[in-house]
Amino acid sequence: MGSGFHDQALLTEHLEVALEELAQASGLSQHEIVELVEYGVFQPVGASSATAGSVSAWRFSSRTIVLGRQASRLKADFDLSLFALSLVLTYLQRIEEMEGELAELRAQLPR
C-alpha cells in the first residue's frame, strides 16, 4: 500500500467492484454470486441490461461486499443452501431497512 491510505475505501454505492473482486472479498464463489443474482439478492449495477450481458463484465456497488460477506458467514455457519440463504438475506435486508427508517424517525423525535 506504500506510504499512504490510497487503497482504503468506504464501501458505498459510489464505488463499484467487479465480480471477481466481490468473490474474493466475500469468500463466495463466482458461481454462488451468479445464483444469488438470479434469486435477486445481489444486483449488478445497471440492473436488467447488466444481467443480460456477460457475467464476467458485471459490476456491483461496493456495498455488496458487506452483504456478500454476511452471506458467506451465514452459509458456512448455518450450512445453508443458496436458496435458503437468499430467503434469509432478503429478510435481513428488510429488517435492516426498517431499522434504518426507525433510526431516522427516532432522530426526529424530541428527546
Partner 1 sequence: MKYKDYYKILGVERTANEEQIKKAYRKLARKYHPDVSKEKDAEEKFKEVSEAYEVLKDADKRKAYDTMGSYQPGQDFRPPPDWEQQFRSGGGGGFQDLGDIDLFDLLSGLGRGGFRPGGAGRGGGTFRLRGQDYEVTAHLSVEEAARGTELEIPLPVTDMSEDGQLRRSTKTVKVRIPKGATDGQRLRVPGKGGPGHGGAPDGDLYVNIQLRPHDLFRVSGHDLYLEVPIAPWEAALGAEVQIPTLDGRVSVKVPAASRAGQKLRVRGKGLPRPGGGEGDLYAVLQVVTPSVLSEREKQLYGELQQASSFNPRAHFS
Residues of the shown chain interacting with partner 1 in the complex, contacts defined by CB under 8 A? 1, 5, 7-14, 25, 62, 65-66, 69-70, 73-74, 77-78, 88, 92, 103-104, 106-108, 110-111
Give the residue with the Cβ less far from partner 1, 83 or 91. 91
Nearer to partner 1, 10 or 52 (CB): 10
Q: Report the nearest approach of partner 1 to the CB of residue 9 (Å).
A: 6
Instruction: State the Cα–Cα distance between residues 78 and 64, nearest whole angstrom.
Output: 21
The minimum distance between CB 62 and partner 1, in angstroms, equals 8
17: enclosing H helix or E strand: strand 16-18
Distance from C-alpha of 101 to C-alpha of 99, rounded to nearest angstrom: 5
